[in-house]
């Protein structure tokens, strides 16, 4: 997907938010970063890497921890960090974006779009293994990555496990060393805003009552 000249609102500047911002800047987008904090710890790192972006923090971006829908002015699409809950911090802005026809994506959706572009432009078609569930994701993701590696494949493990998928894709492109297999640990938070990822193999390890402060209830979680 072509992001050149697109005005993008990135909500949240944690690990995933920084990876999102760096990827979009690389792809030529114009960035507006918003965070409920006045000075998130990764802000300086972004300032050093990307000289030209708008940052809106604290009370300018949110009220009582909820992002203001006014942030959507002149925005083409929104990308949200996975730690931000749709029923809390994002409640107003997601509703407003939907009414305005503005797409709301997450980091893994951008990763999926990037793979689609690489397939079309470079013929790069890696295998994707996606792992989710309430418990055991990290262990299974690490083990799967190791098994693939021992089988002789080049492998990158990323996602919720850290490092961020977009960071690893950026590094692989810079090194001209794209892996044959991506093993992704995906949280329910990340899957909430992922629409086009095409996994070759995927598993839901288990589903137990958890993260209800983020999802609201088990029906939404499941």
Provide the CATH number for the domain around residue 164.
3.40.1190.10
> 115 and 215: one domain?
yes
The residue among 193, 183, 170 whose CA lies nearest residue 104 is: 193
Is 204 a member of any domain?
yes
Domain-embedded: residue 2: no
Catalytic site residue from 137, 142, 206, 215: 137
Among the candidates 105, 123, 149, a domain finishes at 105
Q: What is the mean pLDDT of the chain?
A: 93
DSSP collapsed to 3 states, the chain: CCCCCCEEEEECCCHHHHHHHHHHHHCCCEEEEEECCCCCCCHHHHHHHCCCCEEEEHHHCEECCEECHHHHCCCCEEEECCCCCCCCCCHHHHHHHHHHCCEEEEHHHHHHHHHHHHHHHHCCCCEEEEEECCCCHHHHHHHHHHHHHHCCCCEEEEECCCCCHHHHHHHHHHCCCCCCEEEEECCHHHHCCCCCCCCCEEEECCCCCCCHHHHCCHHHHC
What is the reported pLDDT for 219?
A: 61
What pLDDT shows up at residue 12? 97
Q: What pLDDT does 206 receive?
A: 82
Active site residue 160: yes
Q: Is the pLDDT of residue 192 over 60?
A: yes
Residue 40 domain-assigned (yes or no): yes
Q: Which band of pLDDT confidence, cut at 50, 70 and 90, is reported for residue 51? A: confident
pLDDT at 218: 58
Is it the case that residue 212 has pLDDT exceeding 80? no
Q: Which of 7, 88, 127, 211 is catalytic?
A: 211
User: Residue 100's domain is classified under what CATH number?
Assistant: 3.40.50.720
End-of-domain residue from the set 82, 105, 128: 105
Domain count, the chain: 2
pLDDT digits (tens, 9 = 90+) for 130-166: 999 988 899 999 999 999 999 999 999 999 988 999 9
Q: Is there a catalytic annotation at residue 137?
A: yes
Domain that holds residue 121: 108-221
pLDDT at 216: 60
């Amino acid at each position: 997907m072509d992001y050149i000249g697109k005005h993008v609102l990135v909500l949240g500047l944690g690990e995933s938010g920084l990876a999102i911002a760096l990827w979009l800047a690389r792809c030529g987008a114009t960035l507006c970063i918003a965070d409920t904090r006045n000075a998130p710890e990764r802000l300086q790192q972004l300032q050093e890497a990307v000289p030209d972006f708008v940052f809106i923090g604290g009370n300018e971006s949110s009220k009582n921890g909820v992002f203001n829908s006014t942030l959507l002015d002149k925005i083409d699409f929104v990308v949200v960090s996975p730690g931000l809950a749709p029923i809390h911090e994002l409640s107003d802005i997601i509703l407003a974006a939907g009414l305005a026809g503005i797409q709301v994506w997450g980091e893994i959706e951008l990763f999926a779009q990037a793979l689609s572009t690489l397939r079309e432009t470079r013929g790069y078609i890696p295998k994707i293994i996606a792992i989710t569930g309430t418990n055991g994701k990290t262990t299974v993701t690490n083990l799967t990555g190791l098994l693939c590696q021992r089988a002789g494949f080049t492998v990158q493990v990323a996602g919720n496990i850290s490092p961020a998928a977009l960071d690893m894709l950026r590094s692989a492109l810079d090194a001209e060393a794209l892996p044959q297999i991506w093993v992704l640990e995906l949280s329910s938070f990340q899957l909430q805003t992922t629409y086009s990822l095409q996994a070759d193999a995927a598993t839901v390890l288990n589903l137990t009552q958890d993260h209800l402060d983020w999802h609201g209830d088990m029906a939404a979680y499941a």
